[in-house]
């Protein structure tokens, strides 16, 4: 597996934006951040709250005085910018850059410029390619964290990350729980005359069973619905 790309923030201005960039990185499995000459110094107390738990990225972040020092050990450098440049560097999308980074040997770095003005010409000159996003030509403005998350997401697509919702999904309820739920419904509906006329009772019960077994109930949902029925039964008795 290729080494994960290094996210290099060049002269970032606000600690909050550094924290948000760290959060964006960790969402997609990136942990190596390098910061070049942060305007407000480092560590920055505003970064932590904005990172929303991505402390590992901030704690391991390395600080450099120049961009050249930050990428000295990298073989492939991508400069993120939407501005036109006179030099004839190849231009790639985040998706194409991710493919290259996975297949080429050597470390890769992605440069992100300061919030107000992006990367300087000297920073772009160090890059082997310009990384840009197809974007609305009338409004090509991404904030720092948005730009980081686009690149991190494309890298993550080959990493087989698991969707959080799949981990938290409860297993389906066992059949005996579903049978108990259906019986509970029938016991409460019978005295209300729901299954009349008697000639249609079996068909009505079968339809009710089909309705209640069609969803993929989990045990918590079944228990909740049983609680609702018990509450209604107590209300009727009172």
Instruction: Give 33's strand partners.
Output: 7
User: Mean pLDDT throughout 89-112?
Assistant: 92
Dihedral over Cα of 91, 101, 127, 48: its sign? positive
Q: How far is CA 117 from CA 13, 42, 45, 96, 125, in A?
A: 11, 21, 24, 25, 16
Q: Which of 12, 42, 6 is nearest to 118 (CA)?
A: 12
Q: pLDDT exceeding 90 applies to what percent of the chain? A: 51
Classify burial at 186, counting beta carbons within 10 Å of its beta carbon; exposed 0-12, middle 13-18, buried 19 or more. middle
pLDDT given at position 238: 53
Helix, strand or coil, per DSSP, at residue 220: helix
Distance of alpha carbon 182 from alpha carbon 205, whole angstroms: 9
Cα distance between residue 114 and residue 13, in whole Å:
6
The model's confidence at residue 236, banded by pLDDT at 50, 70 and 90, is low
| pLDDT: which is higher, 3 or 28 | 28
| CA dist., res. 204 & res. 46, Å (int) | 63
For 174-189, what is each residue's pLDDT tens digit?
888 888 988 998 898 8
Domains within the chain, CATH numbers bracketed = 6-161 (3.40.1280.10), 168-237 (1.10.8)
pTM: 0.68
In this predicted structure, what is the pLDDT of residue 7? 98
CA distance 168 to 220: 13
Please give the C-alpha separations between residue 237 and each of 129, 186, 189, 204, in angstroms, as whole numbers. 76, 17, 14, 25
Q: What is the mean pLDDT of residues 117-128?
A: 90
Nearest to 79 by CA among 125, 22, 36, 19: 125
Which of the residue ranges 67-76, 122-131, 158-167, 174-183 would you say has the lowest mean pLDDT?
A: 158-167
Under a CB-based contact definition with an 8 Å cutoff, are residues 90 and 129 in contact? yes
Given a cut of 50, is residue 165 above it in pLDDT? yes
Provide the pLDDT for residue 84: 58
- Sheet with 129-131, strands from edge to edge, namely 62-64, 33-36, 6-10, 108-112, 76-80, 129-131, 91-92
């Amino acid at each position: 597996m290729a080494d994960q790309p290094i996210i290099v923030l060049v002269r970032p201005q606000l600690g909050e934006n550094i924290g948000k960039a760290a959060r964006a990185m960790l969402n997609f499995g990136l942990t190596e951040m390098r910061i070049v000459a942060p305007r407000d110094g480092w560590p920055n107390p505003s970064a932590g709250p904005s990172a929303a738990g991505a402390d590992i990225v901030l704690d391991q972040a390395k600080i450099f005085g120049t961009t050249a020092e930050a990428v000295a050990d990298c073989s492939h450098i991508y400069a993120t910018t939407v501005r036109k440049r006179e030099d004839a560097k190849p231009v790639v999308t985040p998706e194409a850059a991710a493919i290259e980074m996975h297949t080429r040997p050597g470390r890769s770095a992605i440069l992100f410029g300061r919030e107000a003005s992006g990367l300087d010409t000297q920073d772009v000159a160090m890059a082997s390619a310009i990384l840009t996003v197809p974007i609305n030509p009338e409004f090509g403005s991404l904030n720092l964290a948005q730009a980081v998350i686009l690149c991190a997401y494309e890298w993550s697509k080959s990493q087989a990350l698991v969707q959080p919702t799949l981990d938290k999904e409860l297993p389906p309820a066992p059949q005996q729980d579903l049978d108990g739920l259906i019986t509970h419904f029938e016991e409460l509906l019978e005295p209300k005359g729901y299954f009349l006329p008697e000639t249609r009772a079996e068909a009505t019960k079968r339809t009710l069973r089909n309705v209640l077994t069609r969803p993929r109930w989990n045990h918590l949902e079944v228990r909740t619905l049983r609680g609702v029925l018990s509450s209604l039964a107590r209300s009727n008795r009172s």
